[in-house]
Amino acid sequence: MNRAIIIMGVSGSGKTTVGKKLSKSLRIPYYDADDFHSEENIEKMANGNALTDTDRWPWLEKLNNVMKEALKEHALILACSALKEAYRQRLTVGISVNWVYLSASYETIYKRMSQRNHFMKPQMLQSQFETMEPPSYGIQLDASKPVDELIEELTEYLKSHE
């Protein structure tokens, strides 16, 4: 059975960077959950407003369907904030997952976000830290480490959890 590797964490934690590099290394497709947000959700975040659970449910269900279809053909990597346990549960109904939680200090991530162009504004970061429910499963990696080091740790973890 094909498996999903879901890289989670607050915005700016390095999900996209790690996901794309891991995808290249493992030769499996990469998906970014941000690409599946509705126009309404993107506009809301661009205006500095945090999404509600009601905003997120259709997005999470859409991601679940996309993953189920893709997993019929191949393993995959998904970068997704997946901040709450309820989000992770809805996201992965009927899917086998290896969870990767990228964490770093608020200061480290705020600095990163201030240096990039993204619809998620740095001012909204605090609400993500407040919402985050760290998982008690999978692997937690220090997102302040160099990306190559994270990929090495992650590859070792995945080998031991096939």
pLDDT in tens, 72-92: 999 999 999 999 999 999 999
Output the CA angle 116-133-109, nearest 5 degrees: 20
d(CA 135, CA 89): 11
pLDDT in tens, 1-24: 799 999 999 988 999 999 999 999
Question: At 5, phi and psi to the nearest 5?
Answer: -110, 115
pLDDT in tens, 91-139: 999 999 999 999 999 999 988 877 766 555 556 788 889 999 999 999 9
What's the pTM value of the predicted model, to 2 decimals?
Answer: 0.92
The pLDDT > 70 percentage for the chain reads: 95
Task: List, as one string, the DSSP characters of 17-80.
Answer: HHHHHHHHHHT--EEEGGGG--HHHHHHHHTT-PPPHHHHHHHHHHHHHHHHHHHTT--EEEE-
Domains of the chain: 4-157 (3.40.50.300)
pLDDT in tens, 44-59: 888 878 889 999 999 9
